[in-house]
Amino acid sequence: MNRVITQAWEEILRPMLKRPLRLQVAALCYRQTEGGTDVLMITSRGTGRWILPKGWPMDGKNGAQSALQEAWEEAGVKQAEVLGAPIGRYEYDKRLSHGVEERVETLVYSAKVMELSTDYPERHQRKRKWMRAEAAANKVQEPQLKALLRQL
């Protein structure tokens, strides 16, 4: 009897209850300098921790375009060369407005920054800072994102 219940759980009930992860897109904004690669980091609005510009995919835009739009709104990236395919991914727990945490998969798009603006939509809500890729890796919490930053 236990075997039947276990089999029913593993093959029927568990797969029905497990939802796919929600998807976000992020822009890994970078620039090359004489000293190496700098990454543009921003603070989150809620906790103030250092993150990449990211958000939900947007209607009418592909992943790279949505990531670039987030980079504009959150970090003031006015012009950048964005790769069409993600360079990596990471997962994290996002706290939703009603306090519940949800696991989210984030696809990361590379964006070589050509121009930044001082006037952008979320300039009063976040800090932004260029930092070396290794320093950025040390400031983020997500292990998969740390690894991605350390590859630069």
For residue range 50-71, what is the model confidence (pLDDT) as tens digits? 999 999 999 999 999 999 999 9
Higher pLDDT, 49 or 46: 49
Q: Mean pLDDT lowest for which of 11-15, 35-39, 121-125, 146-150?
A: 11-15
CATH of domain 20-150: 3.90.79.10
Higher pLDDT, 99 or 11: 99
Rg (CA), the chain: 18
Q: What pLDDT does residue 94 have?
A: 86
Q: What pLDDT does residue 52 have?
A: 98
Section 91-98 average pLDDT:
84
Which residues make beta-bridge pairs with 136?
none
CA angle 126, 93, 110 (to 5 degrees): 60
Rounded to a whole number, what is the largest CA-CA distance in the chain?
68
Q: What pLDDT does residue 144 have?
A: 95
pLDDT over 70 at 45, yes or no:
yes
Cα gap 42→60, rounded to integer Å: 26
Report CA-CA distances (Å) from 131 to 55, 68, 116: 21, 19, 15
Q: Read out DSSP for 8-42?
A: HIIIIIHHHH-PPPEEEEEEEEEEEETTEEEEEEE
Confidence tier at 95 by pLDDT (50, 70, 90)? confident
pLDDT over 70 at 12, yes or no:
no
pLDDT over 60 at 133, yes or no:
yes
pLDDT over 70 at 19, yes or no:
no
Q: What is the average pLDDT score of the chain?
A: 91
pLDDT over 60 at 16, yes or no:
no
Cα gap 104→126, rounded to integer Å: 21
